[in-house]
Every structure is written in C-alpha cells, then in structure tokens.
Structure 1
Amino acid sequence: MVQDWKAKAEAKRQSILDSIPSKWKLDKVPSAQEQRDVTGKYIQQFLDPKEVEITETDAVGIAKQVASGTWTAVAVTEAFCHRASLAHQLVSCLHETFFDAALSDAKALDAYFAEHKKVKGPLHGVPVSLKDQFHVKDVETSMGYVGWIGTFEGKPDDPRKGVYESEMVRELRNLGAVLYCKTSVPHTLMAGETVNNIIKYTYNPKNRNLSCGGSSGGEGALIGLRGSPLGFGTDIGGSIRIPSAFNGLYGIRPSAGRLPYEGMANSMDGQNTVLSVVGPLATTAGSVKLAVQSLLSQNPHLYDPMVVEMPWRQAEEDFIHKQSKSSGLCFGVMKSDGVALAQPPVTRAIDMVVSALEKEGHKVIEWKPTPTHEELSNWIFKSFGFDGGKDLQGAFGLSGEDVAKQVLLPPDAKEFTGTDIAAVNVEQRAAKKKYMDYWNSTAELTGTGRPVDAVISPVAPYAAARPEGYKYYNFTVWVNGLDYTSAVVPVTTADKNKDKYPEGYTPISEADKVVVEDYDAEIYDGAHVSVQLVGRRFHEERMLAAAEYVGSLLGR
C-alpha cells in the first residue's frame, strides 16, 4: 500500500514537470543556500525583454494593453506560461498546467477582438491562475490528495470527471480571462504552509528558507514570482491572507456569499458554521479590485444560491477616498491579541502603517475587543472538527498516504452531535453580537463621529513561517469566525539589523514563547512583511479602497 501511493505520487509529480515544454526547462535549480531569493532579476534572466515587460505588468495594465490592441492575448499567455513554468521548477507551486488549452482560448479571444473590434469582457486576455479546488474541464483536481488522482473528488466513476467546471470558472471565461494552470495546496487545505505528497513542499520565492504560506500557497508563490498577474484562492482560516502576506501581495478575504463558491472541491463540505470563501490575490490593489468588480458584473447570485444580490457599490469605495481627504479616517491597531505578540518584523510593519496614517492626520486607537480573540478561537476551532475528522480521514484512506505534520487535524475523533453543533452556533451568534457592540462603542474614541473604519492587524506573528513552523492561527481565524472582510497590504521586508525583540522581553504566554523561540533575524532577513486591514461584514469595497490608500502612503 505504501509503495503504491508513493509511486502514484511520484508519477503525478513527474507528469507536472513533463508538461513543461523542454525549451523552458532549467539546467540547474540552485539550493536555497546558493540562491535565497529567486524573484526579480534572478528569474528575469531566463526570459526575453518582452516577456519581462508583459509579466511584470499588473492585471489592470494587461487588460488595457490587450484592449488597445498593443498586445495580443496569445503573446501575453505565452509569456505567463513560460514564467509559470520557471516558477514551478524553482519553488514547486503547480499541480496542473494546461498551456495548450490556454493558448487555444487566447487565439479565440484574439480572433474575437479582430472581428468585433472590442474585448469580450474586462478580463479579456488576462491570464488567471486558480487554486487546485477549482474544477476545469479536461483538467484534474487532486487538491493535494494522492487518492484523488484520476478521480472526481475521490470518486473514480463519477460522470463529472473531466467535464465539470466550477461556477466561477464559467464566469471568468465569460469575462475573457485565460485560464492556464492550477496551483499547489496542502492536502486537506487546513495548514498555513503548502505541503503534500505529490509536489512535496512549496517554498517562498523571496526567501526559500521559508514557507509561501497556505492553503492558497501555490497561488502566493506563483504570483510572487510574477508567473501570474491574478489568481484565486480560498480562505477558511487565513488561506488567502497568509500567502498574500508571505509573498508581498494584495489579497482579499470577502465575506461569505459575496463571490461564487458553487461547484468547487473542498474539505469538510457541509460544515457551515465557519464558511470557506473565495477571493483574489494579485500584485496590485487595482488588480484585486478589477477581479471583484468583474465577477460581480456577472450577477453570481443568479447562479450560486449562497451568493447575495449585491453588485459593486461605488459609493462604498468612494466613502474611503472622500473621508481620507476630508474629516479623516480612524483605525484600530492590534500588535498582540493578548496571547501572542507579532515578531519584530511584523510589529515594525504595523508601526510603519500607523506612522504613515498619523502623518496624514488620521486617528489610530488601540484595539481591545470583547470577546477576546482567544475566546473566539475556542469555538472557531471546534467547528473544524464537527465530523470528528471523518472527511479528512476518508480522503487519506483512499490511498493510505502519510499526513503532513503541518495539517490541522481535529484534536480528537469525537463526532459532534446536532446538539453540540447548535451550542457552538449559539456561541458564535453571541460572540458576533458582542464584537459588533464593541466595534460600535469605538465611535466615542475616534473623533469622527463614527466607529473605526478598519482594524490594522498582523496576518501572522511571522513575516513568513519556517517549514513546520506555522503554529499560531489566531491572528487570522477571528476574521473568519465573525465573517468580516479583510484585505492584505504589503508593507516592507524583514531586516536583520532593525528587527529585534525589545531587550529583556518576556513572553506573555506559552504560545508567545513558541513564537519568540521561532524567531531568527538572519533566517527571516529579506522576507516580505505585510498587514491586514479588517472591516465589517460585506465591506469589500471599503477595504479594497483602504488597502489601495494605505499602500499608496507606503509607496506600494
């Protein structure tokens, strides 16, 4: 049995490499010790100047260049297929490539443009990568499970195999996007790092001593290497925000029901207390906004019963821009949740954001919510174990494969009763109300006459975790439990000469002690450092505007 799953995983791993055209194969991949950072000039050496120009243009710029007729969809697609191929060889970030199908789609888009003298949609000719939860016709979805290889979600004879597509895939095609690859995930999706028995480990391209994050880690690594201008991940506990932060990207975790999740593969399907949501990651805030706006134009509420009827609200975006120029904005700020303090690079990034905002006349107050985030995490993590781990165990049982150490498995095998689940849901509802009341109460402190506009928070205590080192999730899961909106903003990079704990610092808890002991300024040096801006439920337009504004203050 062991030999069988290992051989199957090896064959799949090799098939991904074999799908890369020989002309794009690297003669040698340096070790992390030989070449820590493979972004920028390092990967550029394998591309021609035109490919560099195309792949280092954001999704907004690509859409404009194609719409003007300056670039063809085919030229753009070929450039990104090449760079994605290089990215995979450097950090192992792909599960599937379908370059021939992408080029065929790009040719059809160019033909459409030539005939109609207009684009098919706002994403016409923009390559879009997808986390390996999306079903795409003629493309496998393994989600990192060896037992899913050659099946439809573990079912070998399911008639949907090879022909079914997720709802968002259909919408992206309608918008003119070119789909060309699917990216790596940790099996189960329940990990802040990306590792499985098929592709092994996906490393951080900016610092290959570190993790790219998870569970949308392949997306983060690929976009970080500019092998994609725009991609989609999912987030049930931080899985969009962690890879965005670790790879210096913008990303958004929208509230559940804003964007279509219909028809995607998932773990623990049917657990509805804390829902997984889908959202974009990209190199610029404008690209993330373009993705959300474009999808909302497709009326997803007509095709996904879980999506609310809420088109793009320009007034909500304008609110942030107007307030930033008039009476000012107010932010809550949190460096510690009372259990752990973010490591020095992250606390410095928060200080940089606060300083930039205060310099512009905005108000920043300390964020001390009730209930505490530790209290929130207690029931949030319970929800992940409602089925006693049966779904995850069943998926692993298909092949008998080993489970990665990083995976968050339920602490015990006890299956919750309906009464147990109801009790957690009651606890959730009460917590949401208390947190709402706290947020409302800040109106007395802001000086604006309204509660804080957003909360500045770490995404993780780490700039980017070391392999097997992502152990603290409380900075992200509170957002999921409350179903708030959160946008990630890249701030700076770790600096071993600046980022040090205060002299004599004493950990405030056992969890904080683990975070402190993990920190090594030399190892983390050069890693991306980001923050998240958290807004209330369905505040996507506001948080995207806030992210763009804060990014502009930081020169990002």
Structure 2
Amino acid sequence: MVADWEAKAQAKREEIFSSIPKEWILPSVPSKEEQKDVTGDFARQYLSDREVEITETDAVGITAKTTTGEWSAVEVTKAFCHRAAIAHQLLSCLHEIFFDAALASAKEMDNHFEFTKKPLGPLHGLPVSLKDQFHVKGVDTTMGYIGWIGTFEGAQNAKNYRTHESLMVQELRELGAVLYCKTSVPHTLMSGETVNNIIGYTLNPKNRLLTCGGSSGGEGALIGFRGSPIGFGTDIGGSIRIPAAFNGLFGLRPSSGRLPYEGMANSMDGQNTVLSVVGPLATTSASLTLMTKSILSRDPWLHDPLVHEIPWRDSHYDAMKSLLSSGSKLSFGVIRNDGITSPHPPVTRALEFLTSTLASAGHEITPWTPPPHIDAITLTSSIWTFDGGADVHAAFALSGEPPSSQISSVYGTSPSLQASASQIAAINVAKRKWQKAYMEYWNSTSKVSGTGRPVDAVICPVAPFAAARPGTYKSYSYMSVWNFLDYTGVVVPVTTVDKGVDAVDAGFQPIDEADRECQATYDPEIFDGAHVSLQLVGRRLQEEKMLAIAEYVGSVLAEAK
C-alpha cells in the first residue's frame, strides 16, 4: 500500500521550513497581488546594510575579498543563508536547507586561511546553490518527487542514501565553495514552470504573477532574489536558459561533455539522443567565466567518462576579447521569429534594441535563414517520450501522487507506447543529417557576414514571452533547437517590460491556433516590470568564445541604457 502522499508532502514542507532559524521567519508574507516585485528595496528591508552589501556583490567580487581574507567565509555564508531563507518564504524556491553544515564548512575555511594565509581554492568562501539533482551528503535529493523522500532516487534503504555526492559537488568543495541549499524543480524536470506536490509553485521574484521558469526554476528565483551569487542548473530543453532569462540573469548552456554530470539524479537516464548538460547561472557574465574556468581546472575528464579532455582555453577567450578590444567587428545572425511561435511585444522590442545597439557599435547584423527549425522541433518532441513516460510514471507511482497539469499535458496520467529500437535509430540518423545541414548553413554565412568569417553568434529569443503566466508555458522551440544541435548558448538580460511602451499588437496575425493562444496570454499590466532577456548562440564547444561575447554584449547594453 502506498502511504498518504499528501501527508508525506506536508511533513517535508514542514521539515524545510523548520530548517530556517526562527529569527529569520518573516512576520507576514504579502500575497503576490499585494506585492508583485519582492526584489530591491522590498528584500533589503529584512537585511542589515552589511548583508545587503555582501549579497549584492557578484561571485567575482566576493571571491576577490574571501580569497584575500578581507571578508570571512562565515560572514558571507551567513548573509546568503539569511537572504535565501527570506527568498523561500516569499517564493517557495528551496527543497533542501543545510545552513548549519554550510556555516561549519565556512568556519573551517576561515581557520585554514588564518593558519596558512592562503585560500583553499579560487572559490574560497563563495556560497554556491545547487538544483535538486545534485546529491549532497546529509540531505535528500527528491527532484520534486514525493516517492523519493527518504530514499536514494526512490530506492528504499539504499547504502548510498545521504552518503553519495555528485562529482560536481566534490569538485566545488575542493575549489573552496560553500554549499548551503538545494533549489526547487518541477517533478520530472520536464517543464518550463517549477511546480511539484511538495512545495507547490515557485514564483518569479521580479514579478510574482509570472513563473520563475524551469526546470532550474528554484535556482533562477533564488539568484534573481540575490539569495545566491551563483548556482548550477541543468538543461535538456532550455532548463538553464529559461530561468536565467525570466529572472534577469546570465546563464550558460554548454555543449554536452564540457562540464561533469557524473553522479547526478535525472529523469529518463539512458536517453542519449539529446543529453542534459550542467551549467551555471549568475548575476554577471564574468561570474559564469570564473565558475566554468574553476571547474575545468579540476580535470573533470579524469572522473567523468563523458567529459571531453578540453581544459579552459585562454587562447579562445583572449582571442575574442582582443578582437573586440581592437575595434574589429563581429557578425550576428538574428532570429526574430522561428516560424513556430511569435514573440510577445516586449521580446520583439528587446531584439530590436540589442541588434540596433550592436549595429551602432559597428557590428554586422546578418540575415539568418537556416534549415527550418520546425523539422528539429518535431524530432525533439518525440525524443522526450521514447519510453512512453515509463520512467516518470514509475516515480509518481512510488507515492501515488498525481502529476501536475504541466507534466500530464506531455506524459498523460499513465505510460503510453514506447519507441522501438528501430524508431530510435531512425531519429538518431535524422538528427545527424539535420545537424550536418545546419553546420554547412552556418559555414556558408562567411559569404554574407561582412567579416569574411561565418557568423560569430546568433541572437534569438529564449521564449516567446518575457516570462510565462502560470499554466501557459507550451512553446519551447526557441530553446530546444539548440539542445538538438548541442550548441553553446548564453543568456543575457536586455530590458524589462514597460506597459506604457509594450502595447498589445492589435494587428497580430497568428501562424496557427497555438500561436494565437500564446500571444493571447500577453497582458501589459500583468507583465509590467518583468525581465526581458535574449540568448546568444554559438557553435558546439565554443564556451570560451561565447562567454567573451556575452561579457562584451552585457557591457554594450549597460552603456546604451
């Protein structure tokens, strides 16, 4: 007999809440209608001036002080623990809280520095949050499933329950990072909204009427609230880039095999046609570079069989930085509409603002007419259901809990027909052919780019909307096409929705009924103030180049605002 799933969920919610120190409990929590935006001054009212200073410093700035002893690891950790506790009460963004263990770890780091006068590593004393796919000693990994509570990925009495750590967690500890919480995800991980039966729905801190994104939604919400300076998510169809965009953050989706995934929990493990990848989200592009470079310094290919032996390449990063500093121009392709779903007015304005800003800076904006994306999206959609939903429904069956509507709309309420080996092989062949066609198209752009080189990066929406209204996220085409290609992508914040400027397009002509429904979700009053971001896409394994470009684009946008 399955136990009462609602009682188990309630007990877990209470466990999470009870992990917050009593002195950090808010006297009251306003409704999302009463207080739509809980960032900025609203958040600061609960913090000391010193805590505000620390938590509103980016990862690069923090490590500059913690690695020199100017700031103690304990003080920095406690400040972020406090702000994370506030974030959870307002947004429901945490699955696991282990502040005491974090402060103990930070104290050890301070003792190490006092004795040796040297930092433990390049991330010494830096608080890092983790999506609840990472296994961390001493705490659960539920991934939003009630049936995983108190188990190792659903297995009862497993020897590695609360003792196993993912490779990335081990590497972060060796680098000097302080781990203090794990963040919320949609059960199954397969949704652009973060909702599960344990903690409910995770809200967007900038606009609580909208979603924070998914599946690394808790990361996006927490970092967007400044309850973390940097954290890690995963991305199989947009799950890093969506929450980065919706929360006004920078986020890196590396190509598969660049950063270690070994030892993490996952859905549909063994589906290798499109691999999930791990990557950072942060408040600045430079923070993404710091984290990526630090992880690669640990030679992760020695312990993860799927990681390429590609150290951080200063030559690639510095070459792009040098090219830009010399005044040389880049060429940017632009996707304004992928022919599947039309962007909302604020997204269209962001595209025009960014492209015109880059053009004014002397860069080329190159026409982009690649193979039709609908072909890749059709293939991608079939990949997510290779097993007919058997994996996710088995996880739901452990407790008897129902899937959220966001998940049942994809996987139904029970398993369906599975793909055969021959069907999977045929899709893999079609995928390889489409990747080849796209590769050659990109090569051909050297003839029209204005630089003599193929296009340096493609600019496109992250989603049709600035952020989705709850229950309305149904279009992933701007995201999953790049997973299908395994291209590198970086999200860059561009602007915010302005209801006085971003009016409903009265003359909008939909592509089809789904496009009409998506456009109908836009309401300037509801979306007002939400972050609007775009993504910069490079080719496979171009992480250093794309991070350099993202840093430049971020600086150009800052000057233009």
Answer whether contact 1:192 1:470 (CA < 8 A) is retained: yes
1:485 to 464, 484, 488: 488
Deviations 1:364-419 (A, max 9, x none): 1222211x111101111111111111000100010110111112634771111111
Counterpart of 1:529, as a letter, is V
The aligned residue for residue 190 of structure 1 is 190
Offset at 1:126?
0.2
How far apart in 2 are the matches of 1:158 and 1:423?
38
The aligned residue for residue 218 of structure 1 is 218
Structure 2 counterparts to residues 42-81 of structure 1, below 5 A: 42-81=42-81
Offset at 1:327?
3.0
How far apart in 1 are the matches of 2:406 and 2:121?
40
The aligned residue for residue 283 of structure 1 is 283
How far apart in 1 are the matches of 2:13 and 2:378?
38
Offset at 1:509?
2.0
Structure 2 counterparts to residues 73-472 of structure 1, below 5 A: 73-324=73-324, 325-370=326-371, 372-407=372-407, 409-410=410-411, 413-472=416-475
Offset at 1:429?
0.2
Answer whether contact 1:73 1:110 (CA < 8 A) is retained: yes
How far apart in 1 are the matches of 2:431 and 2:279?
23
Counterpart of 1:243, as a letter, is P
SS of 1:455's equivalent in the other structure is: strand
SS of 2:536's equivalent in the other structure is: strand
How far apart in 1 are the matches of 2:291 and 2:362?
31
How far apart in 2 are the matches of 1:413 and 1:36?
40
Answer whether contact 1:384 1:410 (CA < 8 A) is retained: no
Offset at 1:343?
0.6
How far apart in 2 are the matches of 1:415 and 1:54?
51
How far apart in 1 are the matches of 2:129 and 2:518?
33
Offset at 1:3?
7.6
SS of 2:494's equivalent in the other structure is: strand
Deviations 1:467-500 (A, max 9, x none): 0011100010001000000000001100111113
Offset at 1:503?
4.0
The aligned residue for residue 535 of structure 1 is 538
Answer whether contact 2:211 2:470 (CA < 8 A) is retained: yes
Offset at 1:6?
0.5
SS of 2:4's equivalent in the other structure is: helix
How far apart in 2 are the matches of 1:227 and 1:47?
11
Counterpart of 1:330, as a letter, is S
SS of 1:341's equivalent in the other structure is: coil
How far apart in 1 are the matches of 2:133 and 2:28?
31
Counterpart of 1:297, as a letter, is S
Deviates more, 1:406-415 or 1:259-268: 406-415
Answer whether contact 2:487 2:541 (CA < 8 A) is retained: yes
Answer whether contact 1:349 1:529 (CA < 8 A) is retained: yes
Offset at 1:501?
4.3
Unaligned runs of 5+ in 1: none
Counterpart of 1:313, as a letter, is R
SS of 1:430's equivalent in the other structure is: helix
Deviations 1:124-162 (A, max 9, x none): 000000000000001100000000000000001211101
SS of 1:409's equivalent in the other structure is: helix
Offset at 1:339?
1.7
Counterpart of 1:343, as a letter, is H
SS of 1:231's equivalent in the other structure is: strand
TM-score, normalised via structure 2 length: 0.97
How far apart in 1 are the matches of 2:547 and 2:328?
20
Answer whether contact 2:93 2:202 (CA < 8 A) is retained: yes
How far apart in 2 are the matches of 1:518 and 1:168?
39
SS of 2:337's equivalent in the other structure is: coil
Deviates more, 1:483-492 or 1:513-522: 513-522
Offset at 1:319?
2.7
Answer whether contact 1:327 1:448 (CA < 8 A) is retained: no
SS of 2:511's equivalent in the other structure is: coil
How far apart in 2 are the matches of 1:491 and 1:292?
23
Aligned residues between the structures? 555
The aligned residue for residue 514 of structure 1 is 517
Deviates more, 1:133-142 or 1:312-321: 312-321
Offset at 1:2?
8.6
The aligned residue for residue 555 of structure 2 is 552
SS of 1:395's equivalent in the other structure is: helix
Offset at 1:102?
0.3
Answer whether contact 2:504 2:523 (CA < 8 A) is retained: no
SS of 1:548's equivalent in the other structure is: helix
How far apart in 2 are the matches of 1:184 and 1:504?
39
Offset at 1:355?
1.1
SS of 2:448's equivalent in the other structure is: helix
Deviations 1:499-550 (A, max 9, x none): 1344422112222111211111110000000000000000101111111111
Deviations 1:212-248 (A, max 9, x none): 0000000000000000001000000000000000000
Offset at 1:323?
2.7
Counterpart of 1:545, as a letter, is A
Unaligned runs of 5+ in 2: none
Give % identity. Answer: 61
Deviations 1:6-50 (A, max 9, x none): 010011011111110000000100011111100011010000010
Deviations 1:172-201 (A, max 9, x none): 000000000000000000000000000000
How far apart in 1 are the matches of 2:321 and 2:342?
31
How far apart in 2 are the matches of 1:240 and 1:381?
19
How far apart in 1 are the matches of 2:41 and 2:339?
41
Answer whether contact 1:92 1:202 (CA < 8 A) is retained: yes
Answer whether contact 1:2 1:401 (CA < 8 A) is retained: no
Offset at 1:352?
1.1
Offset at 1:335?
1.4
SS of 1:331's equivalent in the other structure is: strand
How far apart in 2 are the matches of 1:483 and 1:94?
29
Answer whether contact 2:68 2:119 (CA < 8 A) is retained: no
SS of 1:234's equivalent in the other structure is: strand
Q: CA RMSD in A?
A: 1.2
Offset at 1:322?
2.7
Answer whether contact 1:58 1:283 (CA < 8 A) is retained: yes
Answer whether contact 1:72 1:110 (CA < 8 A) is retained: yes
How far apart in 1 are the matches of 2:536 and 2:106?
36
SS of 2:532's equivalent in the other structure is: strand
Deviations 1:419-461 (A, max 9, x none): 1110010000000000001111111111111110000010000
How far apart in 2 are the matches of 1:264 and 1:524?
35
TM-score, normalised via structure 1 length: 0.98
Counterpart of 2:477, as a letter, is N
Deviations 1:257-295 (A, max 9, x none): 000000000000000000000000000001111110000
